[in-house]
Structures are given as C-alpha cells and as structure tokens.
Amino acid sequence: MLGLSTFVPRDPLHLITIALCIVGLFLATIFLVAFKPKGTPGQDRSTLQAYLKFFYACFVKPHTGDGSGNQQDALESFYKAQADVYDATRHRLLRGREDMLGLVAAQLKHRTEAGLISQRPVWVDIGGGTGHNVEQMNAFVSVSDFFRAVYVVDLSPSLCDMAKKRFSRLGWSNVKVICQDARTFRLHEHEHRNLANDRKETIYENADVGGAELVTMSYALSMIPEFYPVIDSICSLLNPNGVVGVIDFYVQSSVEYVGRNYTGGVIDRHCMWISRVFWRTWFEIDRVNLEAARRDYLEYRFGTVLGINARNNFFGVRLPYYIWIGCSKDHGASTQKLAEIDAAATESPYLSALDLRTGPMATDVEVRSKAYESAIINLQSSLPLPATWYQNHHWRIHYDETLEKHKRFNDSYIYAFTWEDDRADARLLKVKADDVILAITSAGDNILSFALESPRRIHAVDLNPNQNHLLELKVAAFTALGYSDVWKLFGEGRHAEFRDLLINKLSPHMSSLAFQYWLQAGPSVLSSSKGLYYSGGSGNALTLVGWLFRVLALTAEVKKLCSAQTLNEQREIWNRSIKSVLHSKILTWTIIGNEKWLWKALGVPPAQRNMIEADYSRQDDVGDERNRSGHAVYEYVLNTFEPVVSTTLLSTSNHYYLLTLLGHYTPTSHPTYLSPKSHIKLSKPHAFNGLRIHTDEISEVIARMRPGTLTIVIVMDSMDWFPPEGRQAMRQIRSLNRALKVKGRVMLRSAGLHPWYISKFEECGFACKRVAVRVPGSCIDRVNMYASTWICTKIEQDEVRAHFRKTSLVELSLGDAAMA
C-alpha cells in the first residue's frame, strides 16, 4: 500500500504552483459570485455576495488612486467597487453608530427643551458616506421635521451618489449631499442658498461663526490623513450651544492619558499591547489609522460631555471603539460661571449674594472646592475643563477617579438600598425651606426624601463613587422618566429596556463617569431576572437569605409573611416557621458573627462590631467564655427582628424588611420617594437645583465650606466606623462644628447605647441628646437596626461651660434607669 507522501510533490516550485492555483481558484470564485449580473432593479444582493465583494474591495483589489497623491482618488479607488454593498457589510463591523445617534439626539432634545437651542437644528455629518446615519437618526427624531437642514459631507463621489439615491427615495428635501473635502466645508457657503425658502431663518454669512447645532463623524476620523484641520474646522461649524458626536475605532495605552482630568472617565479605555499592535497593523491595510492622537486632539479641542469605551465582538475578536460626545471648550467656562457653580459646592459668600439672602460678612473667608481648583489649573494650561463642568446639570462635583481611596470599593456599591428610616428622620429633624443639609449618600433613598422637603441645599457625600453613581441614576430617572419606568427601575428593581432608557433618555442628565459606569454594569444588573437589589454588597445578604429559605423549604412561608394583612397573622407565620431560622445559633455564630461577612455583605466594620460586643458584655455581665462576637451579634439580631415583626406590618408599612425577603418593593410597601405623589414633585424641572453630590470624605467636603453655613448634618452610623484610639473622629467633629451654624444639628445613629465619641462632641461645643434608644421588645424605628439615635446641637461658646455643669450624663442615667 502506497503512503500518502507518494502523492505529495517535494519540489518547492510545484508547491508554489499548487498554492497559486488554489488562490486563483478562490479569487475566480469571488469574481464570479460578487459580480454576478443583478436581477430585477432594486433587488438586494445576498449577504454572501455582499461580503465577497467587500472582501475583494478591501483585501484583493489593487488601489489605483495612490499614485496621484489625491485623497479623493484614493477614497474612490477603495469605495467605488463596494459602494452598493457598503451598508450591508458594515452593520456588524461598525457597531455603536445607533448608540452615538441616540446620545446626540437626546442631547439636542434636552437643549431644545431647556431653551439653549431656539430654532430647528442644523446637522452636519462629516464623512457621511451613503447617508446611513441620517436614515437611522429617524428612529430617534423625525429628520424631516426636527432638523431645518442636514448636510452629508463626503469626499467619495460613489458614496455620495448612493446617499443622493437614498434621500430621493425617502423624499427628505431638507437633506443635502455635499461631495467636498471636510477641511474646506463651511456652512455659510450653503446656508445662504436656502434664504429664499425661509427668510426667517438665521443665515451665517461669516465663516468664523458656527451655525450647526450638531456635527457628527462616524468611523470617518480614522480615515482622514490630515485630521487636525478637519477637527479644527468643526469649531467654525458648531453653534456655541451645539453638540459634537464621534464614533470610531481606537487603540491606546493608559500611559498616554493617565494624567488627564478632562477625558470623562477611563473605564475600559486601556488596550493591551498585543491588541494595540495587531489592530494598528491590520487597519493600515485599508488606510485606517488608529493612532491615539485623533481622539486626543478631539478631547483637547472640545469639552467632553460623555465618553464611552467599548468592544465589538466581531467574529470572535474584541475590536475596540469609542463614542465621544462633546461641546465647545468655552461652553460655561467663564470665570464668573465657574464661580457660580462652585459657590453651591462650598456655600461661599458669593453664593449668599446670588441668593439675595445675606450679603458677604466681614468674617467671611474665601473657600474653593477641589473641583474649582482643578478647573482653574486647566484654564491656565489652555486645557478643557473636567467633564463634569460641561454637564447639563451641575449635581455631580468633579473628583479625581484615579485616587486609590476611590478604587478600594472594587467598582461596586455596598448598599443598593438605604437602612435609615426616612419617616423617623423627618419627625426628628423637621426640615425647613432654608435648611442646608449635608448627608451621607449611601443608596440615595434618604437624599431623595430630603429633596421632597425642598430645602435650600442638599450636599450628598460619599467616598465610594459607585454610591454616588446610584444616586445620579435615581435623580436622572426622576428628571427624565415617567412614574411607570421609575417604578420598574427602583420599585421592582429591573427594567427590560434599561440600556435604551439610559442612552435615549437618561444620558443628558448624568455625568460622564456615572453614565460610563451604568452603561457597563447596568444591563447585567437592571435587565437581569434578579434585579438591582441583588447587586452590591447588600445584594450578597439578600442572595444568602433567599438561598437559606429555599434550602429550608420556607419560601412559601416568606411570601405569606410579606402579604399578611394583620399583625396577628404576621406574628403567627413568624412564630410557626421563620423564627426558627434566627434561633439557629450555629447559623448566627458562623455567618452573622463572621467578621468578613459582616463587612462585605452588611457593611458592618470591625469597630462597630466591637461596640455591639461591648454593650453585650456590660448588660449581661458575661465572662470571657460567652463574650464572643457570635453570641453578641446573635442577641443583637434577635433584638432587631423580633420587635419589627411584632409591631410593624411588612405588607403596608415596613418596606425595609419586605425588600430583604422579596428582593423588591410592592405598590403598598415602598420608600417615600417611590410614591406617585413624590414622583410629581421630584420630576418638576427645578426639583434638584439645590443638590450637590460630593465624592470624598465628609471631613474633606466640610473643610472647604464657608464656616457657619450648614444647618443639618446626617452622618448615619459612620461615626461608629472610627477607631476609638485614633484622632480621625475628633478631627471630623471639629470640622462639623466649624461648618455648622449655631443651633445647627448633627443627627447620628449608633450600634452602641453609649457611643464613646459622644463625649468628644460635647468637648467640641455640642449639646448631645439621645432622642431614641432601643429597648428589648420595642422598636426604635421601622428599621430597628441601631441601638440609639442622637442629635448633637452646636451651642454658643459661652454656653459650653454651662452645659458641662449640667452634663448630659444625667439624661443618660435616667435613660438607663428606664431601660432597667
């Protein structure tokens, strides 16, 4: 039997001949199929034919336009053979175009509604090719009605011919196709020709005055050799209140942009070395250039409104592309405008003068936020401002995302919902219209509850950027969405169309960093079967609770408990089944008593756990053998849950525990901010004008505020987090005293009955009063998670000594006697 090697030619010449024959046969097949005579006019080619012709034009056909050095000849050589199949073959390759169009359409609609754009917009699509983008834009706004004029500018005659046929078929007379070099295109040269059609429209006779409200480039910038003048020319096209939208391929290393604060966020921007080398080399075959300078120059010449870095999973490979939404670099960049915005972040004297409430005082000191300082540095260096300054709303204060203190949260929030009783807060604080409130953001629920009271200012503070991203999402939702969508997002915790809502409705009302975060993380969270409340650290707790009830076959009992209509029915269900789970000491000691579990799932830091153990030791006078965290937390948990079930009805009045059991709210049991009545108030145009969201430590924020301006500070249980042996607590208390007005109040909750830091408050000029204490068998509030609630009131200096003579220890002793 002959071996296979007998039939394999050994001569290299024969091998080359065979290889050439195979390649020739392959190319012949492409020619025969791709250039098969068309059928009836208008009949579409098959997908296979289209892609074969695309392959031939891109990788096989010789480029005849190179010799002349003329860019138009080069483009025509590349596109002429594939113009009629261009759209059919770019659908998968050029991903993200619809997203870019949705984003710019949302920006235009918002600016029109806000009065920044007073006439029907003009749109210039540079490198518009076959006009595909213009037709796709009709899904977001009516092109023929919304735009006064649309100019599709491209240098390829073949593509322009396809565009003219498209708009002739659509019957859109306001769309003009201009076959011209984008570097020389000037709007005023074409606008004056429309004067006879509508003499009321503004005509731009000066080439240096921009008239377009929208300029876009879709996968065109990377194909323009002389890109600097093209980007410069956009300035002469753009209206001062206009928007620029660009989408294109890119590759870039983090080394190149790490020191910039104006990019709008760097989530997924870095490309690996092998990716950079491969894609640059691959695209150069078709004269597409991916060097970072093109995107960098865009970000330098304009202000960044939104920036997105994404990957197109194209035939199994991840192809990097970006979407960039920008505006004029000078938009809102005047020193006066910066000072106005900064004033609300610092409660500066300048703000008081603007509000016409009080004039500057003789004792005033000039204070500036970190955001303002970064803006001034950029202006002095002729750089754009950080992206937060170009937002449509100035809720979010700029922060440096690259700092390590912001990275330690693993790109996630701990709390997806807030464990603070907003009804108790309202009763204790009685917020008024002239109050200036500072509160920890957490999940933002209580911030929205305070907003319902319409105070003069609310400063939401959180070191975790992702907690502030969550608040931004909620604020944007109330600003842009109807009640049904808001309920789906935050009542049910899921919305099947979240991504579309984010791009088309929420994007104009969010900072670039928050938008980037939710575009990346949101669909997997809010469009999943579980939903928002199973995400974050608190979501781990909900997941474990649900898993535990399923293992113990108690899921049906939990549903009955959550739907019980009377307290007696609720108590009966609790006592006969679910209570036994909490009475499992092994479970409590191994899970709830575990330090890592407490911190990662429930957000209970070691210092707070130590306070629980200390109170347990004092009250029961236990020895070392019993005084373990498992026992202490076990008792603490029982004292938390038992009174809640006995005195509050989950189905109608205690949404906190309803959520932990069901994973969502119900129409009869939900936070105050999710009621239809609240939506009416929070969706008004100026509902959040007084909101400022700070991403920093409380001490850093209040250190940059005008002294004596805050009236209410809510620090939740954050004081429990400070170690008693450190000096951080004392520094924060002194800063609070400095920032508060006399009679201003600090409200805090604690896991301890006698927090060690109360005496520190008193030393620093506060009169401290315990306004609620948890007594076994009763609830301190609907959450009942904390042992005590305190209000510390700033007093005059001459009252401090008198206050110490009438020490609050008397009140504490009376309280302890009542407990006994």
Instruction: Give me the pLDDT at residue 213, please.
Output: 96
Contact 659, 417 (CB under 8 A): yes
Check pLDDT > 60 for residue 223.
yes
**β-strand pairing of 788-794 with 740-750:** antiparallel
Average pLDDT over residues 711-740: 91
CA distances from 377 to 370, 386, 426 (A): 11, 10, 42
The average confidence (pLDDT) of the chain is 82
Lowest mean pLDDT among 11-25, 224-238, 420-434: 11-25
Task: List, in sequence order, every residue forming a beta bridge with 248; answer none if it has no partner.
Answer: 322
Say how many residues make up the chain: 820
User: Can you tell me the mean pLDDT for 529-539?
Assistant: 91
Residue 520 confidence class, pLDDT cut points 50, 70, 90: very high
Residue-level pLDDT at 4: 38
Helix/strand/coil for 149: strand
Radius of gyration of the chain (CA): 32
Note the pLDDT tens digit of each residue in 25-76. 655 554 444 444 444 333 344 665 555 555 555 555 556 655 555 565 555 5
pTM as predicted: 0.85
pLDDT of residue 352: 39
pLDDT attached to residue 59: 56
State whether CATH 1.10.510.10 applies to domain 92-328. no
d(CA 518, CA 469) in angstroms, rounded, equals 8
What backbone torsions phi and psi does residue 317 show, to the nearest 5 degrees?
-115, 155
**For position 450, what pLDDT does the model report?**
97
| pLDDT tens, residue by residue, 678-706 | 999 999 999 999 999 999 999 899 989 98
DSSP 276-293: HHHHHHHHHTTT----TH
565 vs 345, higher pLDDT: 565
Tell me the mean pLDDT in the region 637-647: 85
Task: Tell me what pLDDT residue 282 has.
Answer: 86
779 DSSP assignment:
-
More confident site: 2 or 529 = 529
Q: What share of the chain is helix, strand, coil (3-state, %, to 5)?
A: 50, 15, 35
How confident is the model at residue 806, as a pLDDT?
Answer: 53
- Asked whether the predicted pLDDT for residue 192 surpasses 70, the reply is no
Distance of alpha carbon 297 from alpha carbon 451, whole angstroms = 40
Higher-pLDDT residue of 427 and 195 is 427
The strand pairing partners of 791, in sequence order, are 747, 769
Distance CA(718)–CA(125), nearest Å, equals: 52
Q: Give the Cα separation of 230 and 186 in Å (integer).
A: 11
pLDDT score of 522 more than 90: yes
Place of tokens 């509050």: 648
CA–CA distance, 593 with 261 (Å, rounded to integer): 43
HSE (side-chain half, CA atoms, 13 Å) at 189: 10
> For the residues 535-560, what does the mean pLDDT come to?
88
Q: How confident is the model at residue 354 (pLDDT cuts 50, 70, 90)?
A: very low
Average pLDDT of span 224-238 = 92
What's the DSSP call for residue 666? B
* Ranges 83-97, 540-554, 588-602, 750-764, most confident: 750-764
**pLDDT above 70: percentage of residues in the chain:** 77
Task: Give ranges for CATH 3.40.50.150 in the chain.
Answer: 92-328, 422-511+672-819
242, 435, 769, 773, 791 from 428: Cα distances, Å: 47, 14, 12, 13, 9
pLDDT tens column, 568-611: 999 999 988 888 776 665 555 555 555 544 444 455 667 777 78
Both structure tokens of 326: 């920008």
What are the residues whose beta carbons fall under 8 Å from the beta carbon of 520, sequence distance 6 or more? 267, 268
The pLDDT, as a whole number, for residue 252 is 95
Q: Mind listing the pLDDT tens digit for each residue in 136-180?
A: 999 999 999 999 999 999 988 888 888 999 999 999 999 999 999
Query: CA torsion angle for 795, 796, 798, 800 (degrees, to 10)?
Result: 20
Q: What is the DSSP letter of 205?
A: -
Provide the pLDDT for residue 140.
97
**Non-local CB neighbours of 397 within 8 Å, separated by 6+ positions:** 345, 369, 371, 388, 692, 693, 694, 695
User: What proportion of the chain, given as a percentage, has pLDDT over 90?
Assistant: 54
Q: H or E element: which one contains 212? A: strand 212-218
Q: Check if CATH label 3.40.50.150 holds for domain 422-511+672-819.
A: yes
In this predicted structure, the answer to whether residue 267 has a pLDDT above a threshold of 70 is yes
β-strand pairing of 766-773 with 122-126: unpaired
At 456, list the tokens: 């003069």
Structure-model confidence comparison of residues 504 and 409, the more confident one: 504
**Of 327, 318, 326, 325, the residue nearest 95 (C-alpha):** 318
Q: Which two tokens stand for residue 146?
A: 């919304």
Supply the pLDDT for residue 344: 80
**Lowest-pLDDT range of 206-220, 235-249, 770-784:** 206-220
Top pLDDT among 260 and 629 is at 260
Which pLDDT band, with edges at 50, 70 and 90, does 630 fall under? low
Q: Where does the pLDDT of residue 544 fall: very low under 50, low under 70, confident under 90, or very high at 90 and above?
A: confident
* pLDDT for res 797: 67
Torsion angle (degrees, nearest 10) of CA 747, 751, 756, 759: 20
